[in-house]
Amino acid sequence: MIKIKTEEEISIMRDGGKMLASILKDLAKAVKPGITTQDLNKLAQELVLKFGARPAFLNYNGYPSVLCTSINDEIVHGVPSKRQLKKSDLLKLDMGVLYKGFYTDSAVTVIVGAGLAFDKKTLFKKKLIKITRAALEIGIKEAKLGKTIGDISSAIQKHVEEGGFSVVRDLVGHGIGRELHEEPQVANYGKLGEGGKLKQGMVIAIEPMVVTGDWAIKEGADGFVFQTKDGGLAAHFEHTVAITEKGPLVLTR
C-alpha cells in the first residue's frame, strides 16, 4: 500500500533531506587517493550524529555500516573497508538518514582524484556520470500529478540508452517515509503511461543505476554488494522526491 504524507511530514523529510545533502557534499569533498572507504564511513557517522539524526542503513537487514561505498564495477551496497581508493576509481556514495521518524535517501558518484584530467578513460567515466546525473533530473521532471511511475521510468531509460549506456533492471527506486523502503517500486526502465498514477503526498526515491555494458548483475561474495556481471563500470545518483500540487519537490537537494 502506498502511504501518502501530509505537508507536515514532508516538511520533516525536507529537513532530514537537507542534512543528508550536506553530509554527502562533505563526504564527496573528503574523497581522495589513499583514503579508505572505512575512513569515509567513520566521517559519515560523525556527521549524521552531529546533525542529531540517525543513520538509516546501519543494521538494516544486517548491513554493517552507515554508508554504502561501491567502487568501479560495484553498483550499490558496497560495504566500507580498509580498501584504499586509487586515482580514477569510480566511487558511489549512497546514504540515508532517519530524522524525527522519517527516512530520506540519496546517492552521488565521483571520480577519485580526477580533477581536470582529460585522458580517454577519465572522459568516458565523466560521460557516464553526466548521463546518469541527467537521467535523474529528467526522471524528477516527470514526477508530477497525473503522470505515472512508467513515465518516470521511460524517461530515464530513454536518456540513458540514447547516451550509449544501459540501466540496471534488477534494482529499483522505491517509496520512502516512515520505512526506508515502501511502495511503489520505481524502476529505471518502462513504458509511458504504465504503473500507478502519481498522487499528491507520495514520496519516492528516484535512483538511476547506469552501467557501461550489459545490464545483468551479480551479488558479491559478502552478500551485500551488487556488481555488473560483465565487469563494466557503474554510476548511481539518487534523490528523495515529494509529489506536490506545485510539481516535484526534491527533499535531498
Q: pLDDT tens across 166-215, in order?
A: 999 999 999 999 999 999 999 999 999 999 999 999 999 999 999 999 99
Cell numbers given for 243: 509529489
Nearest-10 Cα torsion for 47, 51, 54, 56 = -60
Average pLDDT, the chain: 97
Give pLDDT tens digits for 40-85: 999 999 999 999 999 999 999 999 999 999 999 999 999 999 999 9
pLDDT at 249 over 70: yes
144, 202 Cβ separation under 8 angstroms? no
Average pLDDT over residues 217-237: 97
- Assess if residue 1 is contained within a domain: no
Burial environment of residue 153 by CB neighbours within 10 A (0 to 12, 13 to 18, 19 or more): buried
- Decide if 171 is inside a domain: yes
- As for how many domains the chain has, the answer is 1
- Residue 90 within any structural domain of the chain: yes
Is 2 contained in some domain? Answer: no
Q: With 80 as the cut, is the pLDDT of residue 118 above it?
A: no
The answer to whether 249 and 200 are in contact (CB under 8 A) is no
pLDDT score of 116: 61
pLDDT level of residue 117 (50, 70, 90 thresholds): low
Q: What is the CATH number of the domain that holds 70?
A: 3.90.230.10
- When pLDDT is averaged across residues 33-43 and rounded to a whole number, the result is 98
Q: Looking at the domain assignment, is residue 232 inside a domain?
A: yes
Domain of residue 156 covers 7-250
